[in-house]
Amino acid sequence: MTTETQATAAASGAGATARFRENKKFAADASQERVATLAGRVIKAINETVLEERVSYDEYNAFKAWLIQVGEDGEWPLFLDVWVEHSVEEVANANRHGSKGTIEGPYYIPNAPTLRTPATLPMREDEPGTALLLQGQVRNTAGEPLLGALIELWHADDRGFYSQFAPGLPEWNLRGSIVADEQGKFQISTVQPAPYQIPTDGACGALISAAGWHAWRPAHLHVKVSAPGHQLITTQLYFPGDQHVDDDIASAVKPELILVPTERAGGNGREVTYDFILDPED
């Protein structure tokens, strides 16, 4: 039987690429002038790097081979989400007054099972890890509770693997869409995820190795929070004491997103309260 620890970069990358094609729109409403500006700046930056760093043909050909391998491994979603998305997110959320956002990453799956609070995420009977209760309230920027807000929560397991991107895991393991109550309050029982390395046996791993970087992301919960008439927020929540909170390879950690869990009474895991504030739609 294939297990989650046998996950490969190629399989994960292929899955991320397929999900992107299924769930994201490809075209932007951009004028010819806008495309020319953006593409021109990127091409100019590459050429300036070549000239300033005196790139050799050997280095150029190695770069071409690596680009080809990224595509063959299906790792463009991983590459872009790890090294580029944090800047796009900063631009997208610059004018928000509510909760801080951060990157979505490549492992989001829409239409996870819908549950009503108090809820327990789908998980295996013997799901390893420390029990975690995430609770809080969804409000608007005026401080008013948002009736029936939706909290989409997904995260890696205690070994750092995501369902639908590693073999041997149930389809919706540690994924759910939780409907808050009439006061916008929610309680979600899950397990605390583990820090993990992004896949290192593919092209992105080859880059990390060649550059002498590390491949680690700190443990985190992925969250999307929405309510009628309000802007959806996509964010991640982190845990204090994780050694990679300060040097996340994806540059996605913000101080406002670090949780402060406490031990639950009776020693039954940990709990944390975190509220979400949504901006009104434009």
Question: In the chain, what are the domain boundaries?
Answer: 91-278
- 199: confidence class by pLDDT, cuts 50, 70, 90: confident
Contact present, 271 and 135 (Cβ < 8 Å) = yes
- Kindly report, residue by residue over 207-238, the tens digit of the pLDDT: 999 999 999 999 999 999 999 999 999 999 99
DSSP state of 154: E
For residue 72, is pLDDT > 60? Answer: yes
- Kindly report, residue by residue over 28-50, the tens digit of the pLDDT: 777 999 999 999 999 999 999 99
Contact present, 104 and 232 (Cβ < 8 Å) = no
Q: What is the mean pLDDT of the chain?
A: 92
How crowded is residue 13: how many other Cβ atoms within 10 Å of its Cβ?
Answer: 26
Measured in whole angstroms, how far is the alpha carbon of residue 238 from the centre of its chain?
A: 11
For residue 1, is pLDDT > 60? Answer: no
Looking at domain 91-278, its CATH superfamily turns out to be Aromatic compound dioxygenase (2.60.130.10)
State the pTM of this model: 0.89
Question: What does the pLDDT average to over 145-169?
Answer: 95
What does the alpha-carbon distance between residue 8 and residue 6 come to, in Å, rounded to a whole number?
6
Angle at 110 (CA atoms; ends 108, 114), nearest 5 degrees:
120
What pLDDT score was predicted for residue 65?
97
What pLDDT score was predicted for residue 6?
60
- 267: confidence class by pLDDT, cuts 50, 70, 90: confident
What does the alpha-carbon distance between residue 270 and residue 98 come to, in Å, rounded to a whole number?
26
What pLDDT score was predicted for residue 27?
64
